Amino acid sequence: MTSATSSTRTRGRFSWRRVPGYAFLSLFALFSIFPLFFMVVSATNTTKDVLASRLLPGTHLVENFMSLFGAQDVGAAMLSSALIAIGTTVLALAVCSVAGYGFEVYHSRGKDIVMAIIMLAMMIPFAAVMIPLFRLFADVGMVNSLFAVIIPAISTPLLILLFRQASRSFPHEIIEAARIDGLRELSIFIRIYAPTMKSTFAAAAVITFMTSWNNFLWPRVILLDNAVQTMPMLIANLTAGYVTDYGVLMLAVLLTSLPTIIVFLVLQRAFAQGITGAIK
């Protein structure tokens, strides 16, 4: 009996040593999934059933829909959120990818200094800039403007860092070859770098879309008119009344969560690859 055959035999067999690992994973997975399950199930139940801890799908989904859309302008909030999240993602990807690439490919000492300063910005808590930012946007008359939400979120140190790290693994011989072929610098970036760095772009898109869709504090500060409120603002207001309808609340929470969950599930594989590629 060789060791190879014995090891293949043990692989398929049940082993007590694996039990704690699987048990721990199962427990944590249950902890992770339960509130989401509760959210989905409760969206189909009446508030009475939610508080009675009913964990089965109910028949109240349509009624909850009616009362939510009757009481709140969900369509407008969805539109605001979508415009902000998509606008931020597109602009952030364009600005930060070019910056990370430009830093790594046209590396020089001056750029090192600029980069170090940019990285310092990662330490600045948003709370510390919130008041002057509000005054700045108020001065130029951009209170209630969606651009006031988008602009501060475009350039982030984390994304620049992500693209810089990813650019390190990009073979510079390709850039040289493209130059000899007469391609201009920006075309090299758009036609050669961007298509090969899809997973980095996907990871950056997932991060930016989620952060921007879920952002609450800054939109709350700068969007004072309910006509332009975002989904997180809308659901936070649902609990402001005297009586909370938990079925309706859970439906609204579900609607708010669906876009980010879908984006994550669709881009999941590329997201994991992009993060791993950036850390290597």
Partner 1 sequence: MATEAIVTGGKRRLRGSPRNPYQGRKRPWLHTQRRWNLTGWTFLIPAAALIALMSFVPMIQALFLSFQTGRGSRLTWADPFWLNFERMMGDEIFKLTVFNTFFYLIIQVPIMLVLAMILANLLNDPKLKFKAFWRTVIFLPCAVSLVSYSLVFRTLFATDGFVNDTFMALGLMDQPVNWLGGGWTARFVIIIGLLWRWTGYNMIFFLAALQNVDYSTLEAARVDGASSLKTFWFVTVPQLRPMIVLTAIMSINGTLQLFDESWSLTNGGPAYQSMSMSHYLYELSFLKNPNVGYGAAISYVILIMVAVLAFIQMKVGDKRD
Site for partner 1 in 54-93 (CB under 8 A): none
Smallest gap from residue 75 Cβ to partner 1 (A): 18
Q: How far apart are CA 148 and CA 145, in angstroms?
A: 5
**DSSP classification of residue 228:** G
Contact string 145-184 vs partner 1 (x = CB under 8 A): ------xx-xx-x--x-----------x--xx--xx----
* Region of 1-9, 56-64, 66-74, 97-105 interacting with partner 1 (CB under 8 A): 97-105
What is the DSSP code string of 8-58?
HHHHHS--GGGHHHHHHHHHHHHHHHHHHHHHHHHTTS-HHHHHTT--S--
Joined tokens for residue 260: 């980010």
Smallest gap from residue 107 Cβ to partner 1 (A): 5
Among 52, 71, 190, 266, binds partner 1 (CB under 8 A): 52
194, 211 Cβ separation under 8 angstroms? no
43, 247 Cβ separation under 8 angstroms? yes
Choice between 76 and 151, CB closer to partner 1: 151
* Region of 1-9, 59-67, 70-78, 229-237 interacting with partner 1 (CB under 8 A): 229-237
Q: How far apart are CA 58 and CA 54, in angstroms?
A: 9
Binding residues for partner 1, total number by CB under 8 A? 99
Q: How far apart are CA 24 and CA 36, in angstroms?
A: 19
Q: Does 204 bind partner 1 (CB under 8 A)?
A: no
Q: Does 9 bind partner 1 (CB under 8 A)?
A: no
Q: Does 143 bind partner 1 (CB under 8 A)?
A: no
Q: Does 193 bind partner 1 (CB under 8 A)?
A: no
Smallest gap from residue 147 Cβ to partner 1 (A): 12
Among 131, 190, 227, 266, binds partner 1 (CB under 8 A): 131
258, 250 Cβ separation under 8 angstroms? no
Among 29, 190, 227, 266, binds partner 1 (CB under 8 A): 29
Choice between 73 and 273, CB closer to partner 1: 273
Q: Does 3 bind partner 1 (CB under 8 A)?
A: no
256, 78 Cβ separation under 8 angstroms? no
Q: Does 14 bind partner 1 (CB under 8 A)?
A: no
